[in-house]
Amino acid sequence: MKKILITGAAGFIGSHLCEKFLKEGFNVVAMDNLLTGSLTNIEHLFKLKEFEYYHHDVSKFVHVPGQLDYILHFASPASPIDYLEMPIQTLKVGSLGTHNLLGLAKEKGARLLIASTSEVYGDPLVHPQTEEYWGNVNPIGPRGVYDEAKRFQEAITMAYHTYHKLETRIVRIFNTYGPRMRIDDGRALPNFFAQAIKGEDITIYGDGSQTRSFCYIDDQVDGIYKLLMSDYSQPVNIGNPEEITIKDTVQEVINIVKGTTSKVSYHDLPLDDPKKRQPDITKAKEILGWSPKVGRKEGFQLTYDYFKNIVV
Ligand code: UDP
């Protein structure tokens, strides 16, 4: 049986990846330090003999005994509020953590896929964003700790690929949502759903004309799986290209949370908040044969079904 190490395994995307690889017949070694992840996301997997869990911070030397065939590096604070609160940990897990996992991959002869992000494009001046675009990032702004850590992560990963001939993959993840998103991570969709369920004001930052393109978690996980199994080592965007303004997103959430009494309130736009974001997924389509299948209507309903049970 193939064995895969997944870092950030107790997080939103990490926990879904654990399930996917177990379903595909892998032995899964899950690793997390629970800084932003939660064991409730993976506790149902502990009974499986194909699953084991290590509590560890990958910014420190990583040891996993025995064979390892694949590594997925998904550990990192990943919401603007989280990396504002944990700037040093964010920088360390993207830089030192990635270096440790590259070393482990080299030692084990494993293939490593790193979770990069649309944030490498910053507040983009090219629209939609293709993988060839180099980005527009403010290194010392509030998002700099995340964006630059992820840019460094890509650089060191490519260096190991070219210099050490390591098998590497780079996924650039665009806004992804679904069950197990943290309700309190300050992101748009958890905030909007929680506010609509509680009947509180729905907080739009700026005038709501900024855009995002929301990808359902099952599509994201499928894209990551296909990229890992491909022989393509350049970065690939995985996201849903259906672009929507934040204002219209709020309206769609209100439509799903029927009978909500919430009103909309407007607040200052955070510094360096990207005005537009939409992935060009030509590469994912052509190289991986991947494109998203779940539309917002279905995805928002599944997400609401999750949130309504955990919002108190
Ligand atoms: N946003 C908002 N209200 C909120 C939370 C977020 O209007 O309560 C906006 C935020 O300013 C950004 C967009 O929604 O323009 C998406 O924010 P999110 O935090 O989900 O992630 P980002 O895509 O900015 O990394």
Per-residue model confidence as pLDDT tens digits over 258-308: 999 999 999 999 999 999 999 999 999 999 999 999 999 999 999 999 999
Residue whose CA is closest, atom 14 of ligand 1? Answer: 188
- For 162, residues 6+ apart whose C-beta sits below 8 A from its C-beta are none
CATH architecture of 3-177+216-241+281-288: 3-Layer(aba) Sandwich (3.40)
Angle at alpha carbon of residue 99, lines to 94 and 103, rounded to 5°: 145
* Domain coordinates in residue numbering, the chain: 3-177+216-241+281-288, 188-211+243-277+294-307
Atom of ligand 1 nearest to the CA of 202: 8
What residues contact 43, with CB distance under 8 A and at least 6 apart? none
Tell me, what amino acid is at 191?
N
pLDDT band at 171 (very low <50, low <70, confident <90, very high): very high
Note the Cα 102 to chain centre separation in Å: 19
Asked if residue 312 has pLDDT above 90, the reply is no
CA distance 294 to 282: 18
298 sits in which H/E element: helix 296-310
Instruction: Give the rounded percent of residues in the chain with a pLDDT score beyond 70.
Output: 100
Query: How close is the Cα of 285 to the center of ligand 1, in Å?
Result: 27
306 CA distance to ligand 1 middle (Å): 20
Identify the pLDDT of residue 224: 99
Compute CA distances 292 → 16, 152, 299, 302, whole Å: 16, 28, 11, 16
Strands 176-177 and 168-173, bridge-based pairing: unpaired
Residues with CB under 6 A from ligand 1: 79-80, 175, 187-188, 191, 203-205, 210, 212, 246, 270, 273
Task: Quote the pTM value.
Answer: 0.98
> Could you read off the pLDDT of 77-97 as tens digits, one per residue?
999 999 999 999 999 999 999
According to CATH, the topology of domain 188-211+243-277+294-307 is UDP-galactose 4-epimerase; domain 1 (3.90.25)
> How remote is the CA of residue 178 from the centroid of ligand 1, in Å?
15
Active site positions, annotated = 146
- Report, as an integer, the average pLDDT of 126-147: 97
pLDDT, residue 101, reads: 98
pLDDT per residue over 115-135, tens digit each?
999 999 999 999 999 999 999
8 Å CB contact between 186 and 249: no
Strands 111-117 and 168-173: parallel
